[in-house]
Amino acid sequence: MDKEMLSTNTLDGDLTAIGKTGIVFILVTLNIPIEQVGFLLGLVFVDSFFGVIREVKLKAKLSWERFIWGITSKLAIMLIPFVIATFGLVFKVQLAYLVQLFIYIIASNDVISVITNISSIRSGVRYKNVDFIEKGIHYLTNIFTNMVNNILKNGKS
């Protein structure tokens, strides 16, 4: 057997290429612009970077768990456009404008968070960042919870 065929570097490169191709395939299938997803990912990491600097500047206790939770929650929020696009694809409904709207809302929210972090770094004061997406998710969760409770309550009578 050829040693290059069994090389770890070749295998890693092949797996990376397969992963990237899969991601691009999903984005193209769902009609989500690749550049916008890259921009959102960049904003998530820039926001995280400034968030860490803010914590250091304000002499707050850094927590690896809190950092991972912050990144994970931001990446989970980025799934919203994917879910909407998948819904549109499955039910053959054109939801491209709604997908774009959510991408812009997420980007705006992250830009506001970056600005808030920079302001906190400069002034040394922790400013509260209002997360509109999180508030919206809680609002929708409450609506669906009330709907399910009403259905269950009416079904028992």
User: CB of 132 within 8 A of CB of 116?
Assistant: no
Mean pLDDT score across all residues of the chain: 85
Q: What is the pLDDT of residues 48-107, one digit of tens each?
A: 999 999 999 999 888 889 888 888 888 888 888 888 888 888 999 888 898 898 888 889
User: In whole angstroms, what is the distance from residue 3 CA to residue 17 CA?
Assistant: 20
User: In whole angstroms, what is the distance from residue 115 CA to residue 129 CA?
Assistant: 9
Higher-confidence residue of 81 and 11: namely: 81
Cα-Cα-Cα-Cα dihedral sign, residues 96, 100, 101, 103: positive
Report the residue count for the chain: 157
Rounded to the nearest 10 degrees, how much is the dihedral formed by the CA atoms of 30, 33, 38, 40? -80
Q: Would you state the structure tokens that stand for residue 20, as one six-digit string?
A: 């990237």
Longest dimension (CA), the chain: 73
